Chain A
């Protein structure tokens, strides 16, 4: 995955580039808005990581200009302004995701990978992971030879996990995409939902599919 990081804080940018390279991605850096826009217009990137407040040209304006020129490279906005209304503003300007500072790298990585995949991948009707199968049209979930009955929310949770099978999905991503809440519930309610889901899809089967990724989130994956 090829990334462009537009961030004026040198340390933060270097740290991010290093971290992305460590997990096998290619990361370019731009230190101000104009340079960032030039790079984004030239290069073929999978995802742009854009700081909101930049010298010369702010992040939202970069994304707006790109979208106006028909360039649809997914963009993730990083911002110190983390409140609901700022988030909405960022997404309205053409951003695809929004992460407020301070963030954990695992959260950023998970979101970036999801963005990159979304851009390339296609929406399937049936998701399959190992012997688990989810039909989005008939709303049926089958594992092995038996059907698993899920509550509507459990279905959507599993759907989201399976859509991003093989990728880490963080708790915040689940809360935002499955429940559409953008606040931080003090207790980890998501964990309980996951363990319920796990008891329905994994219990009694030899091979667990739903995994907890320590310090990051969850992933559905066939280990074989």
Chain B
């Protein structure tokens, strides 16, 4: 059993080598390794910077070491890197098992082949002996020994004296009993060379002669070495490539996540304009970044809304409040008698009512813009609303000498808050009446109608008043903007912005156009599927 003894230590060494990379990948030894490398780098660096003094290079070394350790630690903590390690281990094990299976099978095959050959040779030689005795078998053995790549032969007497054969030295005892042996041997013609391993069969011929036939095992050993080397290399390559790939991928992912985290920190510090970087690869990180950016945009818009509201409140509520206060002070100072006090108080109440109205409108806009009312939306016919508002405002128009026409030809289904859409439309009609009445020229008519236009439902109010110049149409939708010519009219300046906010709440928009002459305001809302007939 010398051969298997010889193999065992080799296997142990190989196993030790194979397990070495795993040891290295544990965090502790990994950072040790990093430190060693860092030290090496630092030594080189120190040579280059000898003028700058030793203390500098020492602190530099410490810093570099710390940085690398932190970097390695961070890398090891990431999910991506852990996954890489798991895959790597699985893959390396798989490669090793595959190679082992291959080696074992080949070895078995070779052994089988040797056994068959040896059996056949022994059979052939026994035949020769039976036919021609010792002379004939000796002749045959000598002849076969001369062939290139010949098997091993040894023919001895019962006492163990050599008759013929190409085997020189054998360990004692091999020839004693018939059977299979794996043994060391030496060839006759190779006196100086070392022992070889062989698989031999010893047979006893009639007449006490012993015949040994065997094959050298060098081939099998060589194959084993090749497989072992291949195993070592492939596992090593798998580990190196896998680690390198893992680090590369992890670094890339880490770099992007770090960038995102960095941006998020900036945003948290209050800079809402920042956006997360999008690589444009469309992967899950990109999708996450895009979603977060959309969220940020919404938040920013809401914040802007809040800021605008507070700015507007500050500006447009403080002015009338000041006026109110001045009136009261003046009444206290100058009023004579209950009549004048009463008059002052009445104006005060009127002014405060106007203030409340403005305040409510602002709150309404903020509410509509926050999307809070979306919960209780229902599907209804917009024509109903148009007729309702038309009916509500008709007497007012009539009183101002205007004709208010309502046109609702077909049911126009929209999904929304009835109350809010009514209010938006009421604001538009109110505006139309206000400005048409003040205009001297043009047709004295206001047209209120609903039209189905593809996927949109248009609620339009057309007047023949002065209209709004194209350049100002975007601006009037902003809060509190009142054009010069309308300053004399009563109103908060919030009617159009409220209508626009309500339209946006319903995923629609408020469009202002030219009615030649006059203003055409259109509430464009998405069409809803008709509800099942009740």
Q: Which of A70-96 contact B (CB under 8 A)?
A: 82-85, 88
Tell me, yes or no, whether A181 is within 8 Å of chain B by CB.
yes
For B434, give its contact among A82, A182, A187 (CB under 8 Å): A187
Is the pair B420, A192 in contact by a Cβ cutoff of 8 Å? Answer: no
Given the known interface contacts A102-B356, A186-B427, A187-B430, the answer about A181 and B395 at a Cβ–Cβ threshold of 8 Å is no
Residues in A neighbouring B47, C-beta threshold 8 A: none
A208 to B375 alpha-carbon distance, docked (Å): 47
A171 CB to nearest B CB, Å:
12
- B363 adjacent to chain A (CB < 8 Å): yes
Q: Are B360 and A189 in contact (CB under 8 A)?
A: no
Complex contacts, B352 vs chain A, CB 8 Å? 102
Q: Which residues of A contact B376 (CB under 8 A)?
A: 85, 88
Q: In the assembly, what is the distance between CA of A201 and CA of B394, in Å? A: 19
Chain A residues closer than 8 Å to B391, beta-carbon distance: 153
Tell me whether A192 and B422 are in contact in the complex, defined as CB-CB below 8 angstroms, given that A83-B367, A187-B434 are known contacts. Answer: no
User: Which chain A residues numbered 96 to 148 have a C-beta less than 8 Å away from chain B?
Assistant: 102, 104
A205 within 8 Å of B (CB atoms): no
* In the assembled complex, B495 has its CB within 8 A of some CB on chain A: yes
CA gap between A179 and B390 in the complex, in Å: 12
Q: Contacting A83 at CB < 8 Å: which of B356, B364, B388, B395? A: B364
Residues of chain B contacted by A183 (CB below 8 angstroms): 364, 419-420, 422-423, 426
Q: How far is the CB of B359 from chain A (nearest CB, A)?
A: 9
Q: Which of B373, B399, B417, B491 is in CB contact (< 8 Å) with A186?
A: B491
A residues 175-200 near B (Cβ < 8 Å) are: 179, 181-187, 189, 192-193, 195-196
Inter-chain contacts of B426 with A (CB < 8 A): 181, 183, 185
Known interface pairs A84-B373, A85-B375, A179-B388; A189-B396 also in contact (CB < 8 Å): yes
Q: How far is the CA of A166 from the CA of B364 in the complex (A)?
A: 35
User: How distant is the Cα of A70 from the Cα of B12 in the complex, in angstroms?
Assistant: 90
User: Are A186 and B363 touching (Cβ within 8 A)?
Assistant: no
- A84, B395: Cβ atoms under 8 Å? no
A187, B356: Cβ atoms under 8 Å? no
Q: A156 CB to closest chain B CB, in angstroms?
A: 11
Task: Please pick, from B353, B357, B372, B491, the residue contacting A85 in the complex, using a CB distance under 8 A.
Answer: B372
- Given contacts A187-B433, A189-B395, whether A181 and B357 have CB atoms under 8 Å apart is no
* B395 pairs with A192, CB closer than 8 A: yes
Chain B minimum-CB-distance residue to A193: B395
B249 to chain A, nearest CB (A): 51
Of the four ranges (under 10, 10 to 19, 20 to 34, 35 or more), the interface on chain A belongs to 20 to 34
Does B392 belong to the interface (CB within 8 Å)? yes
Give Cα A83–Cα B362 distance, bound, in whole angstroms.
Answer: 12
Asked whether B422 lies within 8 Å of A181 as measured between CB atoms, the reply is: yes
Per-position binary interface string of chain B over residues 411-455, scored 1 when its CB falls under 8 Å from any chain A CB and 0 otherwise: 000000101101100110010011000000000000000000000
Question: Taking the complex as formed, is B263 at the interface, i.e. its CB lies under 8 A from any CB of chain A?
Answer: no
Set of chain A residues within 8 Å of B388, measured between Cβ atoms: 179
Chain B residues within an 8 Å CB radius of A215? 346, 349
Within 8 A of A (CB), among B135-191: none
CB of B523, distance to nearest CB on chain A (Å): 15
Q: Which residues of A contact B360 (CB under 8 A)?
A: 82, 184
Asked whether B419 lies within 8 Å of A186 as measured between CB atoms, the reply is: no
CB nearest neighbor in A for B375:
A85
Chain A residue nearest to B433 in the complex (CB) = A187
A152's closest neighbor in chain B, by CB?
B391
B419 lies within 8 A of A182 (CB) = yes
Please determine whether A189 and B373 come into contact, CB atoms closer than 8 angstroms. no
A185 to B430, Cβ gap below 8 A? yes
Q: What's the minimum C-beta distance from B433 to chain A, rounded to whole angstroms? A: 7
**CB-defined contacts of A153 to chain B, threshold 8 Å:** 391
User: If the complex has contacts A84-B419, A85-B372, A192-B399, are A186 and B392 also in contact, measured as CB distance less than 8 A?
Assistant: no
**A83-B363, A192-B396, A196-B395 given as contacts; is B492 within 8 A of A186 (CB)?**
yes
- Docked-complex contact A181 and B427, CB < 8 angstroms: no
Q: Is B393 an interface residue (CB 8 A)?
A: yes
B357: chain A residues within 8 A (beta carbon): 184, 186
Distance A39 CA – B319 CA, assembled complex (angstroms):
44
A101 to B177, CA, bound (A): 118
Q: Do A181 and B419 touch across chains, with their CB atoms under 8 A apart?
A: yes
In chain A, what residue has the closest Cβ to B376?
A85
Asked if B423 contacts A189 (CB within 8 A), the reply is: no
Closest A residue to B422 by beta carbon equals: A181
A69→B349 CA distance, assembly (Å): 41
Please encode chain A, from 11 to 34, with 1 for each CB lying within 8 Å of some chain B CB and 0 for all others: 000000000000000000000000
Say whether, besides A185-B426, A185-B430, A82 and B363 are in contact (CB < 8 Å): yes
The answer for the CA separation of A88 and B376 in the assembled complex, in Å, is: 10
- Chain B residues with Cβ below 8 Å from A84 are 373, 417, 419-420
Contacts of A182 in B (CB 8 A): 419
Distance from A178 Cβ to chain B, minimum over Cβ atoms (Å) = 10
Q: Which residue of B lies closest to A81 (CB)?
A: B363
Contact: B392 with A189, CB < 8 Å?
yes
List of B residues within 8 angstroms of A187 by Cβ: 396, 430, 433-434
Give the docked Cα–Cα distance between A120 and B462 (Å). Answer: 48
Among residues of B, the one whose C-beta sits closest to the C-beta of A186 is B430
Q: How far is the CA of A102 from the CA of B349 in the complex (A)?
A: 12
> CA–CA, A193 to B394, complex, Å?
9
Q: Per-residue 0/1 for B102-120: is the Cβ within 8 Å of any A Cβ (1 yes, 0 no)?
A: 0000000000000000000
Assess the A181–B392 pair: CB atoms within 8 A: yes
Contact with B along A153-174 (1 / 0, CB 8 A): 1000000000000000000000
- By a CB distance below 8 angstroms, the chain A residues around B495 are 186
How many Å lie between the Cα of A189 and that of B495 in the bound state?
A: 16
- Tell me, rounded to whole Å, the shortest Cβ–Cβ distance linking A152 to chain B: 9
Query: Once the chains are docked, how many angstroms separate the CA of A84 from the CA of B372?
Result: 11
Give chain A residues whose Cβ lies under 8 Å from the Cβ of B420: 84, 183
List the 3 shortest-distance A-B pairs measured between CB atoms, nearest first: A183-B423, A192-B395, A192-B396
B positions within 8 Å CB-CB of A: 346, 349, 352-353, 356-357, 360, 363-364, 367, 372-373, 375-376, 388, 391-393, 395-396, 398-399, 417, 419-420, 422-423, 426-427, 430, 433-434, 490-492, 495
Please name 7 further chain A to chain B contacts, defined as beta carbons within 8 Å, in addition to the given A183-B422, A192-B395, sorted by A numbering.
A83-B373, A84-B417, A104-B353, A183-B426, A185-B392, A185-B426, A195-B399
6 A-B pairs with CB atoms under 8 Å apart are A82-B363, A83-B364, A182-B419, A183-B426, A189-B393, A192-B396
